[in-house]
A = this chain, B = another copy of it.
Amino acid sequence: MKLITRDTDYAIRALCFIAKCEKEIVPVSELNRNLRIPGPFLRKILQILNKKRLLRSYKGKGGGFMLALAPNKIFLADLIEIFQGSLKLNECIFKKRICPDRKTCKLKKRIDNIQKQVISELKDITLASLLDEVRTYRAKGA
């Protein structure tokens, strides 16, 4: 069982690369050259990040993507939310039916508890904290 799926992982790598890149605006082609991520898949991911306002995109020649937020304002918890939906360690739903024991189930209570802890850990993790060293970031508002 994975806490982060591949989309999320790829997204993080791409964001890190963009954050550290000399250029402010980075085209997918550049990412393709540097990261080992399937091209079209990566593109899809970046488009999603754009829609979700973590990236800003520029079309046309010379275009590409740039960070819309400073790396210390980008949280892993948000990326997980975007690509995997809100983190739930146990939904207690079978075949679209809610488990009838949900109110009293002790197991559920325990898992809910663990979940809270995980989420609070996740909220501490920013993109900035994942960069090896903060090199050439120049976005406004950093």
> Taking beta carbons and an 8 Å cutoff, which residues of A are in contact with B?
1-6, 9, 12, 36, 76, 84, 87-91, 94, 100, 104, 106-107, 110-111, 113-115, 117-118, 121-122, 125, 129-132
Contact = CB atoms under 8 A, between A and B. Distances in A.
A2 B118 contact: no
B106 A114 contact: no
18 contacts: A1-B2, A1-B5, A1-B89, A2-B90, A3-B89, A3-B111, A3-B114, A9-B90, A9-B107, A76-B107, A106-B129, A106-B130, A107-B125, A110-B125, A110-B130, A113-B121, A117-B117, A117-B118
A107 B91 CA distance: 26
Given A3-B89, A106-B132, 8 more contacts: A2-B88, A3-B90, A4-B111, A76-B107, A76-B110, A106-B129, A110-B125, A117-B117
